[in-house]
Amino acid sequence: MVTLRLEELKGHWALVTGASSGIGREFAVQLAAAGVNLAVVARRADLLNALASELSERHGIRVLALRHDLAEPGQARRLRQRLQDEGVTLRLLVNNAALGRWARFEETPAESYEEIIHVNAAALVSLCREFLPDLSAHPSSGIINVSSPAAYQPVPYMAVYAASKTFVHSFSQGLHAEWRARGVLVQTLVPGPISTELEGATAGRRATRHRSTPDKPVRAALAGLEEGATVVVHAKGTYWQRLFALLPAGFVIRQVGKMFARPDHGNLLDRS
Ligand SMILES: NC(=O)c1ccc[n+]([C@@H]2O[C@H](COP(=O)([O-])OP(=O)(O)OC[C@H]3O[C@@H](n4cnc5c(N)ncnc54)[C@H](OP(=O)(O)O)[C@@H]3O)[C@@H](O)[C@H]2O)c1
């Protein structure tokens, strides 16, 4: 079993995508406190630069603030090149960046869906692929791919986001099986609902009731690395959703449709 202790990561490098807000920012904060050097990636350079100054001053680590739009093809290769130019060999990759839409399908243009699919799924795959040589250069190393309870079943009104997370969930566990023999622990993290900038993050009454804060799933993920955990679920109030796999698909979709219908739009499924 591959395990990765936080102490071992001290002085090594981690890359965190989507570090300008929410869960990604919290990953950067907790890793910095453990003495890990960081490459933080997102589009909002002002937020990344402020985070980099704060963390490097407070913890005496190196932080590279790298502005990349992961919706653009070829960014994973560019990121690897930038890190190579800095003489950095990654030991931990945190694939956290994502975006979503909470609306009826027809209310969003196709380009926005392409962007969601590219950031949430395609860029994540490319980052794993590009950084494999870095990761396998260490005796043990890790990847954390951030999934969601939305991966457990289809979600009307967030159909593309949920499908992208199902992709992450499946891909990440498949990769774990392939790479553990190389000493690379691929963890799939399932955080529960948290109020962040993510659209639809706490959609549905149940999600609002069980809302968490970013520090908790991040702590669980880092503890999970130490234990060699393949899937880390920190999603209070959503455990029952995993039972959906055992129930008839029509029943499941009606229940989830009720949960995720926007109050201002009503539920289309009521009329079918
Ligand atoms: N919040 C929840 O309830 C919840 C629950 C389960 C799973 N998750 C998952 O947790 C992860 C983090 O989400 P969050 O809730 O922390 O959301 P968030 O606050 O909206 O953060 C998303 C991050 O992704 C970055 N990002 C978005 N588009 C990007 C692009 N094109 N290129 C580069 N970076 C991009 C954003 O930075 P810029 O805008 O600066 O680019 C931001 O830093 C996601 O994978 C999400 O699916 C969240």
Digits of tens for pLDDT over the chain (272 positions)? Answer: 999 999 999 999 999 999 999 999 999 999 999 999 999 999 999 999 999 999 999 999 999 999 999 999 999 999 999 999 999 999 999 999 999 999 999 999 999 999 999 999 999 999 999 999 999 999 999 999 999 999 999 999 999 999 999 999 999 999 999 999 999 999 999 999 999 999 989 887 667 778 899 999 999 999 999 999 999 999 887 777 778 878 888 888 888 888 888 887 777 776 55
Please state the domain extents for the chain.
6-271
Q: Does the beta carbon of 144 lie inside 6 Å of ligand 1?
A: no
Predicted pLDDT at 271: 59
Q: What is the pLDDT of residue 245?
A: 77
Catalytic positions, written as ranges: 161
Answer yes or no: are the C-beta atoms of 209 and 163 closer than 8 Å: no
Question: Which residue, judged by its Cα, is nearest atom 34 of ligand 1?
Answer: 42
Cross-sheet strand order for the sheet of 231-234? 63-67, 37-42, 13-17, 90-95, 141-146, 184-191, 231-234
Options 3.30.428.10, 3.40.50.720, 3.40.47.10, 3.40.640.10; CATH of 6-271: 3.40.50.720
> What is the pLDDT at residue 117?
98
Residue 264's pLDDT is what?
A: 79
pTM: 0.95
Q: What is the pLDDT of residue 241?
A: 78
pLDDT at 205: 67
Provide the 10 A C-beta neighbour count for residue 110.
7
pLDDT of residue 122: 98
Ligand 1: residue of 99, 126, 188 to mutate (most ligand atoms within 8 A of CB) is: 99
**C-alpha of residue 20 to centroid of ligand 1, in Å:** 9
> Using CA atoms in the order 66, 69, 74, 79, what is the torsion angle rounded to 10 degrees?
10
Say what the pLDDT of residue 204 is.
73
